[in-house]
Structure 1
Amino acid sequence: MSDDTTAGGNGAQPPNRPPMVISAQYVRDLSFESPHAPSIFTEMRQPPEISVNVDVQAAALNEEQGAYEVRLKVNAEGKVGDKTAFITELDYGAVVMINAPAEQVSPLLLIEAPRHLFPFARNVLADVTRDGGFPPVVLQPLDFVDLFRRRVQAMQQARQDQQQSAGDPPQGTA
């Protein structure tokens, strides 16, 4: 009797392998700019107003091996009045190994992996803004499930729009 616990019992994958493993984490790109330094420091009476944009991307490195790259891209801009105090852009990546059914791959890559990467990316962002002479930008936890749902809804809407425009007769003037 076999104790093979892999899906389908074919023995192709090692048993007890976790569904997701983060093999490596790294800063792909990091940029910090303070275009109005040093005068901005004499003009600041309170911490800068901060705007933040976060994007999650995933791409296959080697699908046969279940290897993917997941990237958190964080852009933060601080303003003092109408002047830009600082701009920082962080591209934080990871090599993620996936051992899961196909329908679970996207949620693992776009929800779970970013959830694990986020604290590290947040730390890099806080350090670089603090080292740039400003109060550290400490991002609040993000709802990666909501980001994933919005991405899926946007893709579905785009697909529907494309189908409707392909099915419509050409419009012209008569």
Structure 2
Amino acid sequence: MADTPNGATPQQPAQVKMQVLAQYIRDLSFENIVAQKGTGGDVKPDVQVQVGLDAKKRTAENQYEVLSKYNITSKNKETGDVLFAMEVEYGGVFLIEGVPEQQLHPFLMIECPRMLFPFVRRIVSDMTRDGGFPALNLDTVDFMTIYRNEIERRQRESSAAQPTNA
């Protein structure tokens, strides 16, 4: 390692370490409305997916719990009738070291859900297939866009809540 002109060794940034310690289904529900009510004719499904994220610090040092929540609804495009409704809360426990404090929140809300997503995709695919529908293969979720949209929404709410001086 080269010395700086004053003889000091340049400080290297901390190495980022991310380890998935556990993954789990926190909550799962699937409701096949078609089987309950019945439907006739051709069905053209329209699938809507809503994603919510949450993260919190655990008591153990450098450990965080991240939850991703998926609400999935399939409706008949022509009639608007619900075909199925599914909710999945999938969590992970992560050991994270070397991430600067100011970058920790985006890291938890973007990188951690990105690591969990392939497992959620498989659960959704299996559940829809086992529920009597063609397997639903979720499109890749852009967690960065979700994070940015949430930050913008909070900023708008914060600025709208502040009183104006007249």
Q: Which moved more, 1:112-121 or 1:81-90?
A: 81-90
Deviation at 1:101, TM superposition (A): 1.6
Deviation at 1:161, TM superposition (A): 2.2
CA distance in 1, matches of 2:70, 2:40: 26
**1:47/1:135 contact within 8 Å kept:** no
In the other structure, the counterpart of 2:95 is 97
Deviation at 1:120, TM superposition (A): 0.7
**Is it true that 1:84 corresponds to 2:82 in the alignment?**
yes
What is the DSSP-based 3-state SS (H/G/I as helix, E as strand, rest coil) of the residue aligned with 1:43? coil
CA distance in 2, matches of 1:120, 1:28: 13
In the other structure, the counterpart of 1:127 is 126
CA distance in 2, matches of 1:44, 1:146: 38
In the other structure, the counterpart of 1:12 is none
In the other structure, the counterpart of 2:33 is 35
- One-letter code of the match for 1:52? V
In the other structure, the counterpart of 2:20 is 22
Aligned pair partner of 2:57 in 57, 60, 65: 60
In the other structure, the counterpart of 2:138 is 139
Aligned pair partner of 1:71 in 46, 67, 70: 67
CA distance in 2, matches of 1:67, 1:102: 14
Structure 2 unmatched runs, 5+:
1-10
- One-letter code of the match for 1:158? E
CA distance in 1, matches of 2:21, 2:56: 15
- One-letter code of the match for 2:33? P
- What is the CA RMSD across the aligned residues, in angstroms? 2.3
Deviation at 1:6, TM superposition (A): 8.7
Structure showing the higher helix proportion among its residues: 1
Deviation at 1:43, TM superposition (A): 2.1
- One-letter code of the match for 1:126? S
Q: Any idea what the Cα deviations from partners look like across 1:12-56, whole Å, max 9, x if unmatched?
A: xxx86x43221111111100011341553x525245221111111
TM-score where L is the length of structure 2: 0.81
- One-letter code of the match for 1:55? G
Q: Using a 3 Å threshold, how does the CA distance of structure 1 residues 82 and 156 change in structure 2: closer, same or farther?
A: closer
In the other structure, the counterpart of 1:112 is 111
Deviation at 1:79, TM superposition (A): 1.7
Structure 1 unmatched runs, 5+:
8-14, 170-174
